[in-house]
Structure 1
Amino acid sequence: MKKSIKKIAVLTSGGDAPGMNAAIRAVVRCCTFHEVECVGIYRGLQGLIENDFTPLGPRSVKNIINRGGTFLKSARSEAFRTKEGREKAHQNLKASSIDALIVIGGDGTFAGAKIFNEEFNFPIIGIPGTIDNDINGTDFTIGYDTALNTVVEAIDKIRDTANSHNRLFLVEVMGRDAGDIALNAGIGAGAEEILIPEEDLGRDRLVASLKRSKASGKSSSIVVVSEGDQIGKNILGLAEYIRENLNEYEVKVTVLGHIQRGGAPSCYDRVLASRLGVAAVDSLIEGTWDVMIGIRHSKIVAVPFADTLAGKNELDKDLIRVADITSL
């Protein structure tokens, strides 16, 4: 039965991603468009348990579309993993007369949202916000495009030094068990090799490939390594192995780390976040929830939480072939 939605709360959870503020802005202003009240929840699911709520209106979200991070803050919540914590969160929502909740985050956030909906039959919509682009059911997640641009810009600068000193640079990028950032940024930055968890290159094959690159006339090389790749115990151990088996290069390591999460969101991420934010509110108003609002082939889609947690998006095999060909 369709439920009348008069007040919607929004929060950001898990790791921050550029474009989260743009998504919050879209949610708030779409609520105003539908004449629905909007409430912001600070510090994610933990703030939900601690009743850290604040009213939001169109002017509350002015001048944030260009800002990275999330002005509502984010935090991981161990308390929300417990039934008692979730019961407290539900009590707080009901006490504030909140009818529905929009959560912006990754798979951990969606797992919590799914359980919460099952326990309390409370309307929840998810918006995918993570730089890893590892959410099943959507082609892109908020923050991914910006992270790619940040990585490519950093590698471009590293290459200047690599060329000047005949060095081999191993550049570690984020991605956990997903190689999207490494693969796409590696192609975009012209890397000689790309190591991703989905494809096991192997240390010996990597060294052989680098030797061929050297023999072909390359005086420097860039190897992009996804943090989830298991070719070595860690990137420093991999660097040491290469030093022991390839003396043609001076080997250096750069871990880009959290600079990939920061910075002003790209235009694509701002537009994507705005589309998903509006669609999330529209979905609640129309009576559809317990879903993630994503994008497939440039069209907005609603994907059940259970499907988003069923697996990972498959990596584009054509991109792997492109990487192999263009790195010759």
Structure 2
Amino acid sequence: MPKARETVLEIDLDALAHNYNYLRSKLHEDVMFMAVVKANGYGSEVVDIARKLVDLGADYFAVAYASEGIALRKAGIETPILVLHPQSVNFEAIIENCLEPSLYSKFVVEEFIKIAEGLKQKNYPVHLKFNTGLNRLGFSEKETALVRDLLQGTEAVKAKSFFSHLAASEDWREREFTLMQIHTLRKLAIKLYDELGYRPLLHICNTSGINNYPKAHFDMVRSGIGLYGFGNDKTEDQKLKPIGTLKTIISQIHHLEKGQSLGYNRAFIAEKPTKTATLPIGHADGINRQYGNGHAGVIVNGKYAPIIGNVCMDMIMINITGIECEEGDEVIIFGGPQHATEFASKGKTISYELITGIAPRVKREIINN
């Protein structure tokens, strides 16, 4: 593997394939796989990720917003795409680009039907989301009759799926709550199947649901974080391969004498002679201020080097006392010897926030394509 010569996020498509195949192996052959690629493929590079997943056999994609789905269509992705949080202003564009919206309230359904009827659509595929306990988006169980009436009142749309979202599928302490969510969705779906006279797809499992609730795989599962190498569990993490490695280089080395300060607000004061390095990455790149002042560190030539002083917009400084290194040497922020979950935990956050927060100005480099 060539050494980094600038700040770069390496995206390993072999690791993506490993994760997809591992998660797929847990499913019955008839269960469909929806790959969640929102937020630029969880902070990676969505077009390359999506193309690889098409090759691997993904049945569906999910994005958060219409613009993300449109970008995939422009890149030539023809796989069905679910838009998880569509806005009514984008409904016409959703139809023009053959995207499939999640409809989660009376207002949203009526607005989409109005647009679909105006565009002379018939049986346009839509996905009905039910709120079974996350209390974010979705129809309540009490609104099942409303959903039925809305669907039966038009020929412009037809339900492609009924789905919900698990709130705590990774937490065994919340198993009773999770089973309640699963039971609620199954119960209302069966009722709607009978009343509508047809059977849309049913899905509720996210990555942790795939691992922990195999009887709830239903017709399709949705995986996001698992595809990118994170299982929300130490055992599962060991079976997955993080696809991203964030690297940078040493810009300059300094030698501080005892009592000298470093960085903004003199946040670091050398208590003894200290060798430091400045790196070209900062909070504008997604390495936020909570990682500074010794809370987290990076890997330099196989050795751990703590981040010292305040994180700057474009730079961080690290303590390399006792580490053999030179200006221009590669530095690993996360990936390889330092799992992103470990790095994130030192900043009191989670891997999701860390990896999706890597700024667009950080170069993405696809490897093992």
Give the TM interval when normalised to the shorter protein: 0.3 to 0.5
Larger Rg: 2
TM-score by length of 2: 0.31
Greater RCO structure (CA 8 Å; 6+ sep)? 1
TM-score by length of 1: 0.34
